[in-house]
Amino acid sequence: MDMVFIKQLQIDTVIGVYEWEKTITQRLELDLELATDIRQAAAGDDIRLTLDYAVISEKVTALVCAQPLELIETVAEKVAQMLLTDFATPAVRVRVCKPGAVPAAANVGVEIRRGAW
């Protein structure tokens, strides 16, 4: 199985459980991996036969910004389900990081895998 990936997709959105977080935007960083078979696209040099990472990035950004959420766990699940539903992929890995959430840590986040790897 091949993989199309997007690393450190930066999205500024309203996210958080505290009242003060609900009044500001904060940056999330997402790493996405989508299982696929790239042989046909590579043989024909045809973007229509692969997963277009520009389109994926736009759809993920729109989804994350569509409504304020409290948990990055919710962001990860919503993104994973959208990727599995909207793109021809049998499996995804979604990592959502919230830099700055814990001042003593370089980064914090969650990672989920959905589908058949």
* Residue of 7, 22, 59, 98 marked active site: 98
* 22 assigned to active site: no
Q: Which ranges constitute the DSSP H helices of 3-116?
A: 39-44, 53-65, 72-86
Q: CB under 8 Å to 82, separation ≥6 — which residues?
A: 59, 60, 63
Q: How far apart are CA 1 and CA 78, in angstroms?
A: 23
Q: How far apart are CA 24 and CA 12, in angstroms?
A: 10
Q: Which residues are annotated as catalytic?
A: 98
